[in-house]
Amino acid sequence: MTCVLRLTFLSFALSFALACGGGDLGGGGIDAAHSDASSDTGAPDSADTSAPDTSAPDTSAPDTNVADTNVADTNVADTNVADAGGSTGCGSAPGANDRAISISHDGMTRSFFVHYPPTYNPAVSTAVVLNFHGRMSSASQQIALSRMNAVADAEGFLAVHPEGVGATWNGGLCCGSAMSRGIDDVGFTRALLDALASEYCVDERRVYATGLSNGGFMSHRLACDLSDRITAIAAVAGTNGDLSCSPSRPVPVLHIHGDADSVVPYAGFAGQLSVDSTIDGWRTRNGCGGSSSTVYERGDVTCVEWSCREGAAVQRCRVRGGGHQWPGGVPIPFLGTTTEDISASDAAWAFFQRFSL
């Protein structure tokens, strides 16, 4: 019953946010370019204990002139990427500043949205940040909510916002139809990266993943299951749902979470790992030292970090009194306090740029 009430309340929060934002949270052009997969609304499992994510009124909408591009089927052999850096897309004209790209994977049309900064040079390999939306949200909403494209413009990386199936991701223990149907979102991410590398000059040594709630779960899963391609992750308000996690190397992990989060509680709930258990798991996998140091402290935010094998690190940022929100982003109605004492997008990039494969 608690889970059903939680889902009902959060569905109302999403409806309220959409109404306040005029129903267009990420730019009409992007919404018009959604693929068949993004319209898949398979009903969530009523036993699913990770509640949906929502968006917020759009105060930072992306460019709505989005080109819709189909890329050839990218179901390719599962092989490691060479450490040479620049991809096969180097030298190719990038096209529109914001593009909706569709690919075929596992018999479905999947889509993702690419934003490149004004400084993008197709002859120079460029870092990539994958930013995964929450449950019952969308790529366009995550663009507006996180304001990640603005950070990409300032810092010079490619911002990529994938679209989930049924507005969900299969993050292991979370969430919804993607989890219950066994959608291969790890395989989709690998295919996405292959397609991206053929279209843009990607530095394949610097590919990072972040996301909110279900998107945070997905980021943890990619660190577990795609560590040959994902350099580091930054999960926001989503714990590790991959209980068989076994990365091929130490993966740098940043985790940001409000300790008053009522959707994905800091202390865990109903079989979901707590933040502390998630961090302890990564400390063990990465072979981290026993002591931590405080690396950031401002207002209600404290970040501590452990040093780990092979130059990796595990960092936990606790937001005292923080809700189920993207710190520094557009507040989500009814889901608690949004701190301005740290920007999750800025913090993610500051963490990411320290690491390379």
Q: Give the mean pLDDT of 243-268.
A: 97
Is 52 within a domain? Answer: no
pLDDT of residue 87: 86
Query: Is 70 exceeded by the pLDDT of residue 10?
Result: no
Lowest mean pLDDT among 51-65, 120-134, 197-211: 51-65
Looking at the 3D structure of the chain, how many domains does it have? 1
Contact 94, 59 (CB under 8 A): no
Contact 244, 306 (CB under 8 A): no
Q: Give the mean pLDDT of 299-305.
A: 98
Is 46 within a domain? Answer: no
pLDDT digits (tens, 9 = 90+) for 306-315: 999 999 999 9
Assign 32 a pLDDT band (cuts: 50, 70, 90): very low
pLDDT of residue 85: 62
In single-letter form, the type of residue at position 264 comes to: V
Find the CATH number of the domain harbouring 279.
Answer: 3.40.50.1820
Assign 127 a pLDDT band (cuts: 50, 70, 90): very high
Is 193 within a domain? Answer: yes
pLDDT digits (tens, 9 = 90+) for 142-163: 999 999 999 999 999 999 999 9
Is 50 within a domain? Answer: no
pLDDT of residue 60: 38
Is 10 within a domain? Answer: yes
Q: What is the 3-state secondary structure (H, E, C) of 10-79?
A: HHHHHHHHHHHCCCCCCCHHHHHCCCCHHHCCCCCCCCCCCCCCCCCCCCCCCCCCEEEEECCCCCCCCC
Burial 109-133 (b: 16+ CB within 10 A, else e): bbbbbbbbbeebebeebbbbbbbbb
Host domain of residue 18: 2-38+60-352
Is 48 within a domain? Answer: no
Is 343 within a domain? Answer: yes
Within 13 Å and on the Cβ side, how many CA atoms surround 15? Answer: 6
Selected residue with higher pLDDT from 129 and 41: 129
pLDDT digits (tens, 9 = 90+) for 53-111: 443 433 333 343 444 445 443 333 332 333 346 789 999 898 889 999 999 999 999 99
Query: Is 90 exceeded by the pLDDT of residue 167?
Result: yes
Is 326 within a domain? Answer: yes
d(CA 157, CA 119): 9
Q: Give the mean pLDDT of 20-28.
A: 36
Helix 148-155 vs helix 344-352: angle between axes, to the nearest 10 degrees?
40
Helix 185-199 vs helix 214-225: angle between axes, to the nearest 10 degrees?
80
Lowest mean pLDDT among 49-58, 169-178, 320-329, 342-351: 49-58
Give the residue among 45, 127, 147 at the shortest CA–CA distance from 87: 127
Q: Give the mean pLDDT of 41-56.
A: 38
Give the residue among 248, 232, 229 at the shortest CA–CA distance from 80: 229
